[in-house]
């Protein structure tokens, strides 16, 4: 066994909750962190709060981060005198190959478009176009680029938001997801608005939108989330993801309401799942990804409130297990924000706030699992 694999297996015991095969009936995917991925960046570059991740058709991993969140001491070469050798901020958009080598970098203000005040989310479509949102104060638009950073399309204009029924602008977008077959873009809109918006992928024209339970979105302030209150009739900010599945459904991250709402692609409400519903503050449902098998058997849920990744059986919406935990070491999280899966089933996570990193979790196959509730404020299921 190689040293790296020994470390991976050892870390599995820390981050996974694998149960006794003789006493557990359920199985779920198991993962182990690869502490050597990605490889060190060139040019003494550092990444700041890392706010989005996706995997393209080549198996390359894309992240977007916020260079401005690096402190003066972190980015010493660019901010302090004397500067010293290390370090400076990397460009906002970084592309890694499957081995963790940096193979592309770009981003920031340029001619013909408005770079977001606070970039948020990155998605690469089947034509290798890169979609970026923004959740800054005036960010009411989304951007589309080629994979090398050439500007293609801007939808909306900064400061133009007119609320959750605006057909031309957005309200601080969290993320864009693509339905390749229908040529549509699903926008989690987001940090100011309270809706899912669906666009024509080529023109950016808005085709439809909806709020929680498929209703017309309502921007009334709901106040703080209360776990003891009845389920909210509307989304709370932020609406943090809207991910279409192969079988015609859309899974929406209602982050602060601690729930995933499931819709048909026309906005018809289907059902919902609560995730760690006692979680207050920033909430528990930050992002989701599907397992890469044709049936998309599993949902992976990033929970930045409890610093975990939840594994859910998509057909039944049963929470099977989780891994992670708060901390700085490989396999732990500080502000786990976004996640994506590659074709081999490996997971990639990013961390915002002071987390400032991307991690790779290697898929190890299916294994028996025990209760997912350990260590989280969530009532035990009835026998």
pLDDT of residue 372: 66
Does residue 376 sit within a domain? no
Query: Would you say residue 381 has pLDDT above 70?
Result: no
pLDDT band at 13 (very low <50, low <70, confident <90, very high): very low
Task: Kindly report, residue by residue over 299-352, the tens digit of the pLDDT.
Answer: 999 999 999 999 999 999 999 999 999 999 999 999 999 999 999 999 999 999
pLDDT of residue 274: 97
pLDDT of residue 85: 80
- Secondary structure of residue 289 in the 3-state scheme: strand
pLDDT of residue 18: 36
| Average pLDDT score over residue span 109-134 | 97
CA distance 274 to 269: 15
Q: How far is CA 181 from CA 59, 125, 200, 208, 212, in A?
A: 20, 11, 12, 17, 25
Does residue 375 sit within a domain? no
Does residue 380 sit within a domain? no
**69 — phi, psi (to 5°)?**
-85, -5
Sign of the alpha-carbon dihedral angle for 362, 316, 309, 221: positive
pLDDT of residue 369: 87
Report which of residues 380 and 122 the model is more confident about.
Answer: 122
Report which of residues 49 and 17 the model is more confident about.
Answer: 49
Report the domain count for the chain.
Answer: 1
User: Which residues are CB-contacts of 371 (< 8 A; sequence separation ≥ 6)?
Assistant: 380, 381
CB atoms within 10 A of CB 59: 14
Does residue 383 sit within a domain? no
Does residue 378 sit within a domain? no
- What's 12's domain CATH number? 2.120.10.30
Does residue 312 sit within a domain? yes
Determine contact, residues 125/53, Cβ cutoff 8 Å: no
Strands 259-264 and 269-274: antiparallel
| Direct distance between the N- and C-terminal alpha carbons of the chain, in angstroms, rounded to an integer | 41
CA distance 235 to 171: 14
Determine contact, residues 284/276, Cβ cutoff 8 Å: yes
pLDDT of residue 109: 97
CB atoms within 10 A of CB 255: 31
Determine contact, residues 255/242, Cβ cutoff 8 Å: no
pLDDT of residue 24: 39
Does residue 160 sit within a domain? yes
Query: Would you say residue 208 has pLDDT above 60?
Result: yes
**5 — phi, psi (to 5°)?**
-70, -35
Q: Any idea which residue has 């919406």 for tokens?
A: 317
pLDDT band at 40 (very low <50, low <70, confident <90, very high): very high
Does residue 95 sit within a domain? yes
Query: Would you say residue 83 has pLDDT above 80?
Result: no
* Two structure tokens written together for 99: 């081995």
* Two structure tokens written together for 348: 């990639």
- Secondary structure of residue 155 in the 3-state scheme: strand
Residues spanned by the domain of 111: 3-368
């Amino acid at each position: 066994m190689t040293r790296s694999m020994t470390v991976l297996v050892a870390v599995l015991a820390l981050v996974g909750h694998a149960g006794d095969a003789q006493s557990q009936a359920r199985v779920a995917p198991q993962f182990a962190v690869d502490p050597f991925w990605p490889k060190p960046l060139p040019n003494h570059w550092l990444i700041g709060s890392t706010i989005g991740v996706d995997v393209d058709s080549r198996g390359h991993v894309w992240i977007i981060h916020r260079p401005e969140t690096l402190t003066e001491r972190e980015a010493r070469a660019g901010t302090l005198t004397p500067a010293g050798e290390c370090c400076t901020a990397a460009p906002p958009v970084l592309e890694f190959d499957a081995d963790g080598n940096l193979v592309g970098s770009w981003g920031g203000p340029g001619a013909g478009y408005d770079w977001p005040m606070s970039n948020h989310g990155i998605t690469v479509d089947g034509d290798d176009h890169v979609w970026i949102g923004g959740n800054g104060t005036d960010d009411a638009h989304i951007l589309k680029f080629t994979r090398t950073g050439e500007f293609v399309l801007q939808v909306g204009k900064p400061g133009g938001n007119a609320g959750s029924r605006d057909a031309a602008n957005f309200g601080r977008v969290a993320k864009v997801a693509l339905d390749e077959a229908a040529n549509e873009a699903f926008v989690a809109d987001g940090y100011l608005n309270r809706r899912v918006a669906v666009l024509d992928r080529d023109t950016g024209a808005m085709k439809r939108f909806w709020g929680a339970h498929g209703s017309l979105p309502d921007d009334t302030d709901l106040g703080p989330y209360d776990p003891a209150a009845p389920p909210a009739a509307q989304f709370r900010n932020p609406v943090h993801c809207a991910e279409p599945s192969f079988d015609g459904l859309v899974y929406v991250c209602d982050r602060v309401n601690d729930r995933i709402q499931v819709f048909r692609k026309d906005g018809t409400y289907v059902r919902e799942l609560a995730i760690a519903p006692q979680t207050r503050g920033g909430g528990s449902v930050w992002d989701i990804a599907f397992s890469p098998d044709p049936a998309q058997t599993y949902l992976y849920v990033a929970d930045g409130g409890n610093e975990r990744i939840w594994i859910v059986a998509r057909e039944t919406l049963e929470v099977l297990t989780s891994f992670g935990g708060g901390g700085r070491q490989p396999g732990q999280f500080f502000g786990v924000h976004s996640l994506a899966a590659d074709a081999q089933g490996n997971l990639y996570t990013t961390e915002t706030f002071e987390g400032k990193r991307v991690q790779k979790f290697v898929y190890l196959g299916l294994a028996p699992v025990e209760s997912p509730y350990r260590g989280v404020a969530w009532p035990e299921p009835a026998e």
